[in-house]
Amino acid sequence: MTRAVAPWLDAPLTDFVRQARVGMAVALEPSGRVLAQHGFTRALDVMAVCSLVAAIHASASELGRQVGGRPFGPLHHGASGQQVFLAPAAAGSGTVLVLAVFDDRTSLGVVRHFFAAFARAVATVPDEDRATGPLTGDFERDLGRNLAVLFGRA
């Protein structure tokens, strides 16, 4: 079941998960603020994944700029049994990062194809619809509130 703090992500992430046949997915801001998740059962796992995804994206973007003048694009790590796909999608004037974990029931090509559809869907969302409430400036409190909403504890 997909749960979203940002209602505008509910349908696009649900469609991506279903069509691409990924087991777990999380959508977040580049700062690490969680926006939606699918397949995770523990808030601590989502918090850890969001922290890692934000750090990986920031590092890969800067490394790409230093090496080739442009941030690196989508990242993929394939292993036996489980694979990970991480990519940014433009959403209005911002960016949404998506991490998807999948297995042999699908392929990287299928995940990329349906991620492109996800990216097209979120690109058309107006900035005013993307506003999910102002950040208070207290990252930990905002993260805790978002995780509570995602896991039905708010």
> Range with the lowest mean pLDDT among 87-96, 127-136, 145-154?
127-136
Task: Say which residue the tokens 């749960």 belong to.
Answer: 3
Q: Is this model's pTM higher than 0.75 or not?
A: yes
Would you place residue 147 in the very low, low, confident or very high pLDDT band (cuts 50, 70, 90)? Answer: confident
Q: Which carries the bigger pLDDT value, residue 126 or residue 9?
A: 9
Q: Which carries the bigger pLDDT value, residue 66 or residue 144?
A: 66
Give, for 26, the enclosing helix (H) or strand (E). Answer: strand 24-28
For residue 131, what is the domain's CATH number? 3.30.450.30
> Span 107-132, mean pLDDT?
89
Would you place residue 139 in the very low, low, confident or very high pLDDT band (cuts 50, 70, 90)? Answer: low
Domain extent for 9: 2-150
How many domains is the chain partitioned into structurally? 1
For 7-60, write each residue's pLDDT tens digit: 899 999 999 999 999 999 999 999 998 999 999 988 889 989 999 999 999 999
E strand map for 5-128? 24-28, 34-38, 75-78, 83-91, 94-102
> Span 71-95, mean pLDDT?
91
